[in-house]
Amino acid sequence: MSRYLKPRIEEYLMDRPRGAQLWQIAEHLGSNIDTTVLALRRMSERGEAVMTESAGMHANTTWALPERERTPPVFRAMETLQAMQAAARQT
């Protein structure tokens, strides 16, 4: 189940450069906190997520994407468009 959460977690956190608390992520995904924290810990082990602020309660810990993942969606769209245009020119 947690592998299906990864892309949704990444998408949610991309628009939040300061991160989000665990309970906010779980609520947005419609997932329970235990499943969400499991997915985030696995992502953290692979360097795909970072716990930026630890709190006494797990639900209040703040998670974010590593710096390299924080490109705003509009810029990712432009990069994709430019790559597609370059590929079209080569054919």
CATH 1.10.10.10 fits 2-90, yes or no: yes
Q: What is the pLDDT of residue 1?
A: 47
Report yes or no: 37 and 21 within 8 Å, Cβ to Cβ: no
> 18-62 pLDDT, tens per residue?
899 999 999 999 999 999 999 999 999 998 999 987 766 678 889
